[in-house]
Amino acid sequence: MKAASVSLLLGVCVLLLSALSVSAVSLSVCPNLQQFFRGSSSVSLNCVDGWTVKRTRGGHTEVCGAAGGFERVDGSSCLLDLSFSSNGSYFCVNRSGQQSDEVSISVSDDSLILEIPALPVRTGSDVTLHCRQKDVDTVAAYFRFNGSNVGSGRKSEHTITNIQQSDEGLYSCSTDTFGSSPQSFLRVRGQHTEIASCLRTSTNLLT
């Protein structure tokens, strides 16, 4: 019985140490956005040294460098070519199978996207969302949070000030002419949480 208790305690310690190591690792996305128009640009994805970028889509997991438009720069960095179908959840993983939080990226053929951060935002910070029309600058739009309109009428942007956990959820935008953007989930983390910064690779981005 004593041996079983010791074994259980050791197992708990291993799990706690694993959680600590994974919590310190996150995927850097540059530009820090979730939604893009197809063919508009490329996206730089970076993990810390020793971790690899992977994605899941359609029930399958792909490693950076194994699919078209998902090109490896080096062991921990990738470039995502947005002329390809790139919808999916992206994350960092190490050789032990530990993985970071996932970041969702969607590539749209429609007329509107919502400019919303891909990385989590800290409580107490301010975030401004924009609605962008294809081949045009940002447009006045209706902004929605968890399916309900926020604010009154159309506006050029939606700013969330002093963000709290209650602001976490699904956001989208729409116009009378061009319909709605996809929905994206805004993640909120504690004020002292370490969040990856937007890191460009030294290699030229795809154009």
**Domain membership flag for residue 69:** yes
* β-strand pairing of 188-189 with 121-122: parallel
Backbone angles phi, psi at 10, to 5 degrees: -60, -40
**Domain membership flag for residue 118:** yes
**Domain membership flag for residue 14:** no
For residue 193, what pLDDT is reported?
Answer: 66
Phi and psi based region of residue 147 (left: phi greater than 0; alpha: psi -120 to 50; beta: remaining):
left
For the chain, the domain total comes to 1
**Domain membership flag for residue 57:** yes
Q: Which residues form the domain of 84?
A: 26-189
**Domain membership flag for residue 51:** yes
d(CA 109, CA 36): 9
**Domain membership flag for residue 18:** no
206: pLDDT strictly greater than 50: no
What is the distance of C-alpha 183 from the center of its chain? Answer: 13
This prediction has a pTM of: 0.80
Give the rounded percent of residues in the chain with a pLDDT score beyond 90. Answer: 58
Q: What is the pLDDT of residues 164-193, one digit of tens each?
A: 999 999 999 999 999 999 999 999 988 766
**Domain membership flag for residue 196:** no
